[in-house]
Amino acid sequence: MLGTTPTYLLVGLVAGLVAALFFGAVITGSAVSIGLVFLIPLPLFVAGLGWGVVSVLAGAVVGIIALVFMAGFKVGLAFALQMAAAPVILSYLALISRPAPPGPNGEENGVEWYPEGRLVLWTAAIITAMIGTIVLVGGIDKTMLNTWGTEAIGHMTKLQKQVAGEGGNADALDNFKAAFESLVPHILSITSLVWMVMTLAVFGLATRLLGAARRNIRTWAPFCRLEFPRGATIALAAGVGATFLPGQLGLIGEAGMVAMVTAFCLLGLAAIHGILEHSGARTPLLFFVYTVIFFFPFALPVVLALGFAEHTVGLRARFARKAGGSSGPSAT
């Protein structure tokens, strides 16, 4: 029977089962399996971007069914919302194409694929929708977050006393507890940030793996050419405005704002890559930039400002004109 099954369905079947296996391992709570959380969507992204939308959709369905049978409906639903929805939606969007406008002499210019910048913004929208669903269905509000934080800090206090009684370094735990207490009200925003970065990183890893195997269905523009549509600033402003809404809507708005800010930070990094594209010291300069960001996260507002400036005034085009180069990056 398997011999007559189309390859794309077999790939989807395997991808779904692997993703479900990873998800099942993570929810067991073992320390060894925590690292797998970043790899759960990878098989589904590989199936979708390398074998098509039907493949990733089949994989998502198989993974959901497997988890429902193994761990119950709630676990299957969590997998669907948290890990399967993004690969299915983004794979579908990524594979949208249309004929490119003809050249000056009427020659064909191949195919235009759905722009990478729009995929980044869709990722922010998907993350916001997922967190919004969790907040509304779970009845999460600020009171619940504070209660959860108080309980967690109580457990830390007990652990701190135990560590101090055994002659351990309780001060380090005390510092961690203080930092944790300040972050509790913003746990959904932190989740949005981590989820956004993880999704885009796994998306990019999938395209790299497929590129190495020559299985990419579409072509991808270089990262330094990343651009956002004109309405992106409106979405960012809407996210900022939504943070002032009361109750659960404010929590969802804050998560959405963080997702959009992350997207504009990515655009800022793309602008830096574009500005340094023809520099002889490009590699060491990029290494310096990423080192600064890694060790000094307070530099991220500068990257955000660069992303906003690129979107509004076209930094890369301006630098290219000053350098005597082309008029700027082509549209993605």
Rounded CA separation 275/309 (Å): 13
Q: Which amino acid is at 162?
A: Q
Rounded CA separation 174/288 (Å): 33
Phi-psi region of 326 (alpha: psi -120 to 50; beta: other; left: phi over 0): beta
pLDDT at 7: 87
Quickly count: other Cβ atoms within 10 Å of residue 16's Cβ. 28
Sign (positive or negative) of CA dihedral 144, 149, 150, 154: positive
| Cα angle, residue 285 at apex, residues 282 and 287 outer, rounded to 5° | 105
pLDDT at 179: 61
Residue 236 burial class via C-beta count within 10 angstroms: exposed 0-12, middle 13-18, buried 19 and up = buried
Query: Rounded to two decimals, what is the model's pTM?
Result: 0.86
Which of 145, 35, 24, 44 lies closest to 86, judged by CA?
44
Q: Which amino acid is at 127?
A: I
Look at strands 97-99 and 111-113 and give their pairing: antiparallel
Contact indicator for 53, 46 with CB cutoff of 8 Å: no
pLDDT at 230: 87
pLDDT in tens, 163-177: 555 555 555 555 655
- Going residue by residue through the chain (332 aa), what tens digit of pLDDT does each one get? 455 668 889 999 999 999 999 898 887 766 566 677 888 999 999 999 999 999 999 999 999 999 999 888 888 998 998 899 999 999 999 999 988 777 666 666 678 899 999 999 999 999 999 999 988 888 887 777 777 666 666 665 665 556 555 555 555 555 655 666 667 777 888 889 999 999 999 999 999 999 999 999 999 999 999 999 988 999 889 989 998 988 889 999 999 999 999 999 999 999 999 998 888 888 999 999 999 998 888 889 999 999 999 999 888 888 877 766 444 444 33
Rounded CA separation 255/244 (Å): 12
pLDDT at 1: 45
Q: What string of DSSP letters covers 273-325?
A: HHHTTT-TTHHHHHHHHHHHHHH-GGGHHHHHHHHHHHHHH-HHHHHHHHTT-
Instruction: Sketch the domain layout of the chain as residue ranges.
Output: 1-95, 111-332
